Amino acid sequence: MKRFLLIRGAELVAFLLLAAVPLAVTNPFALGLLTLLAIYGILLIGLDVTVGYLGQVNLAQAAFLGIGAYTAGLLVMKLGVGLLPSLAGAFLLCLVLGSLLALPALRLEGPQFALATLSFLALTTTVLNEWESLTKGAEGLQLNRPPLFDITLNAPGFYWLCLVLLALVWMGMRNLLSSQWGRAFEALRDSPIATDAMGVGTYRHKVIAFAFGSALGGLAGGLYAFNFQYLQPQSFVYELMVILLLGVVLGGRKSLWGACVGAALIVLLPNLLSNRNLFQIFSVIGLVVALGAGTRAWLKKSVRPFQVIAPVAAMGLLALGSFLVSNTEDWRKAIFALMLFAVVVGLPEGLMGWAAGALARLFRVAAAPLPPATDLDLVLPMQALSGHTLLELRDLKRHFGGVKAVDGVSITVRSGHIHGLIGPNGSGKSTAVNVISGLYAPTAGDILLDGKALPRGSLFSVAGAGIARTFQNLQLFGELTALDNVMVALRDTYRTPWPLVLLGLARKEEKQAQAAALALLQLVGLGDQALSKAKDLTYGAQRFLEIARALARKPRLLILDEPAAGLAHPDAVELVKIIKRVHGRGVTMILIEHHMDVVSELCDTVTVLDGGRIIAEGDPEIVKRDPKVVEAYLGAMAAEAPAVDTGASTAPAAA
Ligand code: ADP
Ligand code: MG
């Protein structure tokens, strides 16, 4: 409650203060800056969705600002549309164009995505320039601000409109980001593969996020048009984009406060530059702060030396320059560059990221308490142990060029069984389960789940069919808490349609999801670490968390790819207990495992692969005495890795 009051209270106070300004200040210049702040706030919140949450360098936001501005302006001037409908038009057009750009661009990664968005920006400014019959080109488009429901808006009135819209965007975005949508955005940044394998749909979420961020750019554009009432294509070029990125990074990514602080900074900076004395004071303060904060961090040894030296040097140059240079306007770009450099190195979390850390230390607000865990029977219903054929592989092949990783494998997995898959390193075990789970498409062969063909080559579709998996190389969402990792994967839980999510009407569902995820964490013994970030857990706990996350899918078949790899002895013992517990609920499993005694203890049937082919299959006790198996696998294993004693096993490791 205290936390809720502090956070919501701070938001409320900030907006009330901003709204009260026109009552006290009548200076039109100051009001103009505040209006611009609200507009840029909306724009940067939209940009932060891609840059902050998806972690992609998006260079198209300036284009959407321009498209939104011209759309709203032309709707008013050519068609006589009213103020709110033309803002809605700008929003919707950018939503559509954002999706159209995202569909191909988000198939690309990193630098290629940045270049695709950059081309879109170049294309947009060219079209705005050259389509003179519509936009009047470089001459510029004059427009009038239409009335709002018959009320002619004066400067304070328009400012309040912008502020109300910013508040609505802020609330909607906060609700969206604290729902399963925001979690999915963060998850796919940490591991797109796992996001797909948990049935969330990486690509779909990325496209939606980008389109939504672009639409906010369009809305900001509409307001921009009605604010200046004069539009020129060269306002929406690359230079603006650099300033917008500066705003997001400087303010702090992944933060609504950060976006608005960034907006305030980029609104104020150009004015700061035009007043020499003010700029001198500003840069000296900047230098003192960099020196003070740097020295303190240095004494606490919390940073590396260059993180102190570089920002101090950059701010020093700025301070020196402010006294040497007579016209700071000419040095605009260099000044922005120095500031950006100082912030990126010295304050990588941005101003608000740094402030949030300091505030958290000051107030020490406890995290919101978790609801009691749901009954496990509801989260992971008991499945009947029928023994019928659940999964069938028929002559499955997967070749990589000349490497026949899997070369004609036929396996039948029975419902309720733990089916072991063993074989020396490189024998094709991981490839086989990667093909089943859809990470790779098969080269040939059939995969049937309950007699029906399983989707091929799509993690997302296979996850939808009821198969969940863990990964030999951990694929956790490192920046998310253990609880959030599980919550991302919960199946059949999030039913509230997105418009209601935006309105904040998904809170109850969210609590239910927390309770369900907690039950699964308790099942693997991580109940008391629910709020730790996944990357901060011990290695063993990370392995167990992956199992809990996969179980959130209520899987019909659970594939565990070497869950014991790298585990210390006590963790390996714990793992066996967890697998037994899960099996006790009737979950069918494919278990890839190296240690023969673990396999003997857990598995009903075991298939042995060598060189992509099956060399033995059947009861583990019999298979492990098979001379071919001893030769191909166990001999090699006994030499390199001694079997783990699980404490409960009585089966001797075969030699
Ligand atoms: P295991 O899990 O049994 O140790 P893998 O299935 O990982 O074995 O590998 C089987 C063979 O396939 C190895 O020779 C490996 O180098 C090859 N392989 C696996 N994945 C790929 C890939 N993506 N591209 C090329 N070769 C691969
Ligand atoms: Mg493997």
pLDDT at position 647, please? 40
pLDDT confidence of residue 440: 94
Provide the residues around ligand 2 (an ion) whose CB is within 5 A: 430, 472
Q: What is the pLDDT of residue 32?
A: 87
Going by alpha carbons, the residue nearest to atom 23 of ligand 1 is 400
Q: Is 439 in the pocket of ligand 1 (CB under 6 A)?
A: no
Residue 634 has pLDDT above 60, yes or no: no
pLDDT tens across 263-280, in order? 888 888 877 777 778 888
Whether 393 has a pLDDT exceeding 60, the answer reads: yes
Question: What CATH code is assigned to 385-491+523-644?
Answer: 3.40.50.300
Least trusted range by pLDDT, from 334-338, 372-376, 585-589: 334-338
For position 378, what pLDDT does the model report? 82
| Residue 365 binned pLDDT confidence (cut-offs 50, 70, 90) | low
Cβ of 428 closer than 6 Å to ligand 1, yes or no, is yes
End-to-end CA, the chain: 62
Atom of ligand 1 nearest to the CA of 427: 3
- Asked if pLDDT for residue 636 goes beyond 80, the answer is no
- The per-residue pLDDT for range 319-330, each reduced to its tens digit, is 888 888 777 777
Task: Decide: 441 in ligand 1 pocket, CB within 6 A.
Answer: no
650 pLDDT exceeds 70? Answer: no
Determine contact, residues 500/209, Cβ cutoff 8 Å: no
Highest mean pLDDT among 342-346, 359-363, 631-635: 342-346
Tell me the C-alpha distance between 495 and 209, whole Å.
19
Provide CB contacts within 8 A for 625, sequence distance 6+.
Answer: 654
* Distant-in-sequence, close-in-space partners of 360: CB < 8 Å, separation ≥ 6: none
Ligand nearest to the CA of 428: 1
What's the 565 CA to ligand 2 centre distance in angstroms? 10
What is the C-alpha separation between 525 and 544, in angstroms, rounded?
Answer: 8
Closest ligand 1 atom to residue 472 Cα is 2
More confident residue, 110 or 532: 532
pLDDT in tens, 98-110: 999 888 878 887 7
| Sheet hosting strand 389-400, strand order edge to edge | 403-414, 389-400, 444-449, 452-453
pLDDT tier for residue 1 given thresholds of 50, 70 and 90: low
Q: Say what the pLDDT of residue 648 is.
A: 40
pTM of the model: 0.83
For residues 382 and 138, which has the higher predicted lDDT (pLDDT)?
A: 382
Q: Provide the 10 A C-beta neighbour count for residue 367.
A: 9
Residue 3 has pLDDT above 70, yes or no: no
Check whether 42 has a pLDDT greater than 60: yes
Nearest Cα residue to 381 out of 590, 589, 585, 522: 585
Task: Answer for the pair 128, 66: CB distance below 8 angstroms, yes or no.
Answer: yes
| pLDDT tens digit sequence for 339-348 | 878 877 877 7
Contact criterion met (CB below 8 Å) for 169 and 220:
no
Instruction: For ligand 1, atom 1, name the residue with the nearest CA.
Output: 426
Q: Quick one: which of 608, 620, 546, 606 has its CA closest to 579? A: 546
pLDDT-above-90 percentage for the chain: 41
Give the nearest ligand 1 atom to 592 CA.
Answer: 2
Distance 426 CA to ligand 1 centre (A): 6
Cα–Cα distance for residue pair 18/34, rounded to 1 Å: 8
Query: By the 8 A CB rule, do 432 and 406 touch?
Result: yes
Residue 530 in contact with residue 521, Cβ under 8 Å? yes
Which atom of ligand 1 lies at the shortest distance from residue 425's CA? 4
Lowest mean pLDDT among 157-161, 229-233, 381-385, 407-411: 381-385
pLDDT confidence of residue 651: 38
Could you state, in order of their start, the residue ranges of all structural domains in the chain?
Answer: 24-236, 385-491+523-644
455 close to ligand 1 (CB < 6 Angstrom): no
Average confidence score pLDDT of the chain: 86
Q: How far is CA 524 from CA 117, 416, 556, 573, in A?
A: 44, 19, 18, 12
Phi, psi of 399 (to 5 degrees): -110, 145
